[in-house]
Amino acid sequence: MNQITEPQPKEDEAEPQTATETEARHEATGRNIDAIFGVKLDVRVVLGRAKLPISEILNLSKGSVIELDRKVGDPVDIMVNDRMVARGDLVKVRGGMIGVALREIVKDFVTD
């Protein structure tokens, strides 16, 4: 006589019962990402770019204007560790400071 049993979850698919068990399981499998949340990354906002010969750079002084490859109102690029992850608009925030309001997240910044 065949006995019907419910399929048992694999060991790595079993649901832990407590938060402590979950934490221990994640640490054991190397999937605990909490350790990286405090890692600081270099975030830059790029207003535009320009290429200048060294002779022009040496002639720069206070009040010089460098023409960029963007127009007023164009979005700025948000770079994380030298990789563009988003575009946004410059905005004025409290105390006369400026910030960036995100307009678009670049979908292909994550590589496989």
CA separation for the pair 34, 74 (Å, rounded): 36
What share of the chain has pLDDT > 90, as a percent?
53
In angstroms, rounded to a whole number, what is the distance separating the alpha carbons of residues 49 and 106?
19
Task: Work out the burial of residue 78: count CB atoms within 10 Å of its CB; fewer than 13 is exposed, 13-18 middle, 19 or more buried.
Answer: buried
pTM, full prediction = 0.58
Per-residue pLDDT 10s for the chain (112 aa) are 455 555 555 554 555 556 666 666 656 665 677 778 888 999 999 999 999 999 999 999 999 999 999 998 899 999 998 899 999 999 999 998 999 999 999 877 555 5
Give residue 107's pLDDT.
79
What are the tokens at 104? Answer: 């678009």
